[in-house]
Structure 1
Amino acid sequence: MPDTLTYTVRLDAPGPPRPHEALHASFYEALTRVSPELSENIHQAPVVPFALELGPQDDREIKFRVHSLQDEVTEALLAAWALGEPLTRRGEVTVHGELSAVARDRWNFEELLEPLQRRPVRVDVQFTTVTAFKHNGAVVRWPSPQLMWGGLAQRWSRFGPDMAGVDYDQIRLFRLQLRDTEILLHRHHGRVHIPAFTGAASYELSAKASHALALLRFGARVGVGTQTGYGFGRIEIGEVRPISLERRRVKPANETDA
């Protein structure tokens, strides 16, 4: 059953300059302490069963969430990260402070299915962190319906219950307002620059795309695109409004009101 674990770290020194990388490293360190096999399997998996979400932070504390799609991941984190301890990687502190609070929120896939979309709608999506997609091995700065919903459907089918597929031709990209940026990661062989974007998009979903909104709600939990394990690809769902199928009749130029 999926879980969202919300952690608070009380700082005793300035926070890390790259918190996404520090938390990602500490996550795998925690899994390895409990189950090296689980950590390695997730590290090598093409579709990972978790996502990180960096929350509010200031000089005193950092909040972050782990969205877990497997009980094994949840239980490993609860066992490895004890309150009062620092976050570490290979014995070195990654975030100078101690875990001061944890909250567990259990949720299920079925609740994301309701209310089921039964009519055409237009939905606004905000990309609240830098986001990128991959297609045929290449990085893409374009939130097309195929990339957005295709990735979410793959993740849902791997960890969730059976659900009817979504016809991407029934989803239309209506409006885009994007800004190019990049994801910068520091690896042992040097810096990695991944082309990415932030911004907003609007999509039109036909009545036949009945599970498209459910997948989008799923994306608001686990993120979209690549590098969600670092906290990238976070989205917020904005207004969902019906689309009228009725078209006003255009009055001929020579027609007058009675």
Structure 2
Amino acid sequence: MLLSMVFRLQAMNNAFLPLSHGAMAYAALLKMIDRRSPALAKEIHDVQSAKPITVAPLQSAGMVPSHPHVHIVAGEVFTWRVTALTANVAEEIQQMVHSVERVQIGQGIFQVLEVVTSWAEHGEARQTTYPELLNRWERQAVPAEVTLQFVTPTAFRRGRVHQLLPTPRLVWGSLLDRWNRWAPQSFTIGRDLLEEAILLRAWQGGTQRIELDHRAATGFTGQFTYRVQPNYPAVRLMMAVLADFAFFSGVGWQTAHGMGQVRWRAKGSLVNN
């Protein structure tokens, strides 16, 4: 099961959060899970590679991205998005929210106004399964070209080095690893073939310095368009499925801390719905 859940939160106090507060948001979600299922919370925490959840930073109409802090004003309403990539985590989060009335993220305390899980209720909420995603794209013509919008800073970790260029091998390899880890049906496509078959055709973006759990990090944001060369139908199908999957999984390093949030865009509109 794949779940994207959106919380509507109303601030109960005045507070400041760092603009890159993903680690605080992750800690808040893990604390919520721990109250109901300590074993699952520990299992998620102990995973050293990609975790089966992603946590987005808070969003509100009044936020100014260029400011170094998020100014929380009592009464202001925020949205907060979390995703689950396995059935047991998704089911636990869905059950957990029925008993959650308040959430604390950093110094901000929020009342839970609403929790939604369907796209009809909120454009960032959605539920599906791995087989449904695969079947969706097996039943229709798949595009040769995909444009990904990297919404939050994204990076790829290689040892102590951050890779900041979203090459086909890194982007689609990251998504492929996540899909093959949790999906019941794997793609048998190697990273060398990704480099051979997929081209980075166009891009517009830049880098951004963030604070990540008391560490400085750099990530890239922007729009990047990838094209599959002719005579690679299996790669075309894989790219469409993984672009859809990216809405839930994120891409790259520290997706549980708000990095690597991705949307598939076509002519300015979201494809992930």
Q: Is the 1:175–1:201 contact (alpha carbons within 8 Å) kept by the matching residues of 2?
A: yes
1:50 aligns with 2:72: no
User: 1:223: which partner in 2?
Assistant: 250
User: 1:30: which partner in 2?
Assistant: 32
Give the distance between the partners of 1:112 and 1:193, measured in 2 at CA.
36
Q: Which ranges of structure 1 fall in alignment gaps of 5 or more residues?
A: 241-258
Give the distance between the partners of 1:136 and 1:157, measured in 2 at CA.
22
Q: Is the 1:16–1:22 contact (alpha carbons within 8 Å) kept by the matching residues of 2?
A: no
Q: Is the 1:34–1:79 contact (alpha carbons within 8 Å) kept by the matching residues of 2?
A: no
Give the distance between the partners of 1:41 and 1:119, measured in 2 at CA.
37
User: 1:103: which partner in 2?
Assistant: 116
Q: Show CA shifts across 1:74-102 (max 9, x none).
A: 3433444456722147xxx7432211111
Query: How many Å apart are 1:21 and its aligned residue?
Result: 3.0
C-alpha spacing 1:129/1:78, structure 2 compared with 1 (3 Å): same
Question: Secondary structure of 1:17's partner?
Answer: strand
TM-score (normalizing by structure 2): 0.76
User: 2:43: which partner in 1?
Assistant: 41
Report the AA paired with residue 104 of structure 1: T
Query: How many Å apart are 1:120 and its aligned residue?
Result: 6.7
1:61 aligns with 2:77: yes
Q: Is the 1:172–1:203 contact (alpha carbons within 8 Å) kept by the matching residues of 2?
A: yes
Give the distance between the partners of 1:77 and 1:127, measured in 2 at CA.
25
Q: Is the 1:87–1:94 contact (alpha carbons within 8 Å) kept by the matching residues of 2?
A: no
Task: Provide the aligned C-alpha RMSD in A.
Answer: 2.5
Give the distance between the partners of 1:23 and 1:111, measured in 2 at CA.
29
Give the distance between the partners of 1:171 and 1:128, measured in 2 at CA.
22
C-alpha spacing 1:75/1:118, structure 2 compared with 1 (3 Å): closer
Q: Show CA shifts across 1:200-239 (max 9, x none).
A: 2111113511311111111122211111112221122223
1:5 aligns with 2:21: no
Report the AA paired with residue 8 of structure 2: T
Q: Is the 2:7–2:81 contact (alpha carbons within 8 Å) kept by the matching residues of 1?
A: yes
Give the distance between the partners of 1:159 and 1:120, measured in 2 at CA.
24
Query: How many Å apart are 1:176 and its aligned residue?
Result: 2.7
> If each structure's helix is expressed as a fraction of its own residues, which one has the higher value?
2
Query: How many Å apart are 1:24 and its aligned residue?
Result: 1.1
* Greater C-alpha Rg: 1
1:142 aligns with 2:158: no
Query: How many Å apart are 1:118 and its aligned residue?
Result: 5.9
Q: Show CA shifts across 1:97-122 (max 9, x none).
A: 21111123431123323334767722
C-alpha spacing 1:219/1:120, structure 2 compared with 1 (3 Å): closer
Which range moves more in the overlay, 118-127 or 42-51? 118-127
Question: Secondary structure of 1:67's partner?
Answer: strand
Give the distance between the partners of 1:142 and 1:102, measured in 2 at CA.
36
C-alpha spacing 1:84/1:36, structure 2 compared with 1 (3 Å): closer
Q: Is the 1:84–1:100 contact (alpha carbons within 8 Å) kept by the matching residues of 2?
A: no
Q: Which ranges of structure 2 fall in alignment gaps of 5 or more residues?
A: 63-72, 119-126, 268-273
1:172 aligns with 2:199: yes
Question: Secondary structure of 2:252's partner?
Answer: coil
TM-score (normalizing by structure 1): 0.80
Give the distance between the partners of 2:2 and 2:212, measured in 1 at CA.
28
Where relative contact order (Cα < 8 A, 6+ residues apart) is larger, the structure is 2
Q: Is the 1:2–1:67 contact (alpha carbons within 8 Å) kept by the matching residues of 2?
A: yes
Which range moves more in the overlay, 72-81 or 151-160? 72-81
Q: Is the 2:54–2:249 contact (alpha carbons within 8 Å) kept by the matching residues of 1?
A: yes
User: 1:155: which partner in 2?
Assistant: 178
C-alpha spacing 1:152/1:15, structure 2 compared with 1 (3 Å): farther
Query: How many Å apart are 1:174 and its aligned residue?
Result: 1.5
